[in-house]
Amino acid sequence: MKSKIQIQLLVIYLVTLAVVVGGFQIYISRNVYSRMQRDVIKNMEFTTDSLEAQLETYFSNSDQVMINMIYKGTLLKYLEELNEVSGLTDMERMKYARKFDELIESQSTFPIIPSSHVSIYNLDMTYKYEYNPVKTSNLGNVLENSEKEEYLEHYNRVICRSENSENGTFSIIRLITNLDAEKLGYMELQLDYRDLDRMCDFKDERTTYILDQNGNMLYPDKTVEKDELDFADEITGEKTGVVQIGNDYYAWEKLDKYDMIVAVRQSEQAMFETLNSLKRTTMTILVLLFLGASFVGYYSVYRTLKPIKTLTEQVMKINYGQMNLDIHKEQHIADEMVVLQSAFSDMLQRIKTAAEKELYLQKEQERMKYEALQKQIAPHFIHNTLYVISIAAQEKRNDDVIVMCKGLSDILRYSMNLEHMKVRFEEELAYIKNYIRLQEENYGEDFQYSIEVDERWMDVEIPRMFLQPFVENCFKHGFGNAEPPYYLKICGTADNDSCQLYIEDNGAGITDAALTHIEDMLENPDYNKTDSEDSLGVVNTIRRFRYLYGNKGNVTVERQLQGGTRVKIEIRRR
């Protein structure tokens, strides 16, 4: 058993230590961890910015090649001729194919041309030229999609992916117009996804996404889960930004020239792996320091307060029957403890003598008060009961009078027996049942009652005539000022620690003034006969209960919210 002062010193020491350690942890969290976290996010933004620059250069070079082929050669002339011809012979097709070959070869100095697929169509698509032919063209998908077709006609350019997962290409498609903005045909430049892989594949857990001008996935060339595109809903009007969705971070940047968005995703765990490792290491060190300092503090306090603790333990063993102080002198205990032992022993002997005298006088005083209170209650109860019987006699209910007289006889016999100050609850409950049956004869069908008491209540000892005033007030004050039907409930519960008894009615309810008057009378033990007789029975009963049970018993009288009065009686077993 630790002494109180030892616990207090340990608590103060540990709280101070915890504040210091916690303050240090907060400091490094705000000034070190947060700075490192911002640096990691900035690094992610820098990576996305570098990737955006590479992609913009790549798309710009590819687009510039197409512009050169359209406007720096004779392509417009060839398409005008093809649009005017209603049909072409095989020979004519071969002739135009050679012309387009020469035009494409003139752009072969651009690295992108030799490995790309170029397709040229006239306006009604009756003629098609292919350089490095492919199985599937993406132009048809664009013209069948109203959004993509509208974008193509507005900006003369659209970038889209192949709908064929085996194709592995994406296309830049241009609407070919002359200087008078007349549509002449289409040019499609199909590019290999491996070009994007070389720029976008980081070879780690990071994932790159490229969204085209319609918000569709351009890269990677695979079917993605729906929730992978949730970050697109978080993109604001800013050119760049970082957003966290779930356990992932997305750094995004817009390619304004092409109305595209590039985003890099990285899991929070991988992104802050180094930072989290530093946090775990720091926390481990702080915990070890805290535990070590706690042990040192505990040992120091223990050695300092052990002599005082020994004396405290001996004092705690003192009771009325044992008031001798016995402290074994140990090597580390000072001689002052022996002096304290002798002083405590003399003082305890004097206290014991005074306590025995005070206890005798207190018991005598309580016995006299109890007898006086019981004599005051008896006339009060007899008056009310005889009044009920007189009403029944006036109404010539002879059988009822006989039953009530028999019940009254049992009640008077019980109340006149003054041999025992306390009775078993079972006896008191039988007495109350007789009293309620008398009242039931008076109220007739307007009155109902229920009594449900736990069996563990039956052997509990309570003051004689203890329940009488509370039940009597239900009829006299509760039902007397209320309209029927009337209901009285007595409910008793019990557990290992305490017993509770509730007496409830649905009457008018006790007033605040009456509650205040009862409290005032309980606080003033020298009340006289000028006090209200209505409250006298309740006050005397509560006083008897307090005399017998002290702080182990409690009586509460209160007004119920739904109407009526409730009395709670509690007796603690421990």
561 three-state secondary structure: coil
Q: Please provide the distance, in angstroms rounded to a whole number, between the alpha carbons at the two ends of the chain.
A: 21
For residue 120, count CB atoms less than 10 angstroms from its CB and return exposed for 0-12, middle for 13-18, buried for 19 or more. Answer: buried
Assigned token pair, 307: 């002599």
**C-alpha to C-alpha distance for 473 and 564, rounded to whole angstroms:** 11
Question: Which residues sit opposite 264 in a β-bridge?
Answer: 208, 251
What pTM was estimated for this model as a whole? 0.48
The pLDDT of residue 308 is 64
Residue 233 CA from chain centroid, whole number: 29
Report d(CA 499, CA 456) in Å as an integer. Answer: 8
| Angle at alpha carbon of residue 477, lines to 471 and 478, rounded to 5° | 75
Q: Which residue has the tokens 């006050």?
A: 539
Going by C-beta distance under 8 Å and a sequence separation of 6 or more, which residues neighbour residue 310?
327, 330, 333, 337
CB atoms within 10 A of CB 535: 23
Secondary structure of 333-401 as H, E, C letters: CCCHHHHHHHHHHHHHHHHHHHHHHHHHHHHHHHHHHHHHHHHHHHHHHHHHHHHHHHHHHHCCCHHHH
Q: Quickly list H helices, 218-326.
A: 268-271, 273-316
Largest Cα–Cα distance in the chain?
Answer: 139
Task: Collect contacts of 22-30 with beta carbons under 8 A, ≥24 apart.
Answer: 24/286, 25/282, 25/283, 25/286, 28/282
Where the chain has pLDDT below 50, the residues are 1, 360-361, 364, 368, 372, 375-378, 529-530
Q: Would you list the DSSP string of 113-162? A: TTTSEEEEEETTSS-EEEES--S--SHHHHHHSHHHHHHHHHHSEEEEE-
d(CA 531, CA 524): 11
The DSSP H or E segment spanning 236 is none
107's tokens: 């752009």
**Helix%, strand%, coil% for the chain, nearest 5:** 55, 20, 25
Strand order in the sheet with 240-245: 217-219, 207-211, 260-267, 248-255, 240-245
Instruction: For residue 44, give the nearest of 260, 248, 259 by alpha carbon.
Output: 248
